[in-house]
Amino acid sequence: MSGHRQFSDLKKGWSPARLARNEAHKTKLADELVSLEQLREGLGISQEELASVMEVQQPAISKLVRRPDMKVSTLRDLIAAMGGELHITATFSDRSVEIGNFTASAA
């Protein structure tokens, strides 16, 4: 991959303070991570209810919430079916930026 570098290479010049902030931020984010299945369960929505809203069969929901990768539009539809709204945010060491390409209105 010409022109691409490993993220670990980029961090080599970081100060100890910046590395510590990065590690603290990664730990905080890891504590906030939840799977789509855990989200569904936490919201008290059954797979059958979600299937009904999305107009698919229950086994499709079971597969969908366990997928490690999916289209943004599919994820947006799934989150909407659970009553939420999907926002995609790029987080950097000094700021976070919401990416507007993936909102429902931009689709």
The chain-wide mean pLDDT, for the chain, equals 82
The yes-or-no verdict on residue 15 having pLDDT over 50 is yes
The pTM score is 0.66
User: pLDDT category, 39, cuts 50, 70, 90?
Assistant: confident
How far apart are the C-alpha atoms of 59 and 14, rounded to whole Å?
47
Distance (Å, whole) CA 53 – CA 82: 9
Longest dimension (CA), the chain: 52
- 30 pLDDT more than 60: yes
**∠ CA 33-34-36, rounded to 5°:** 140
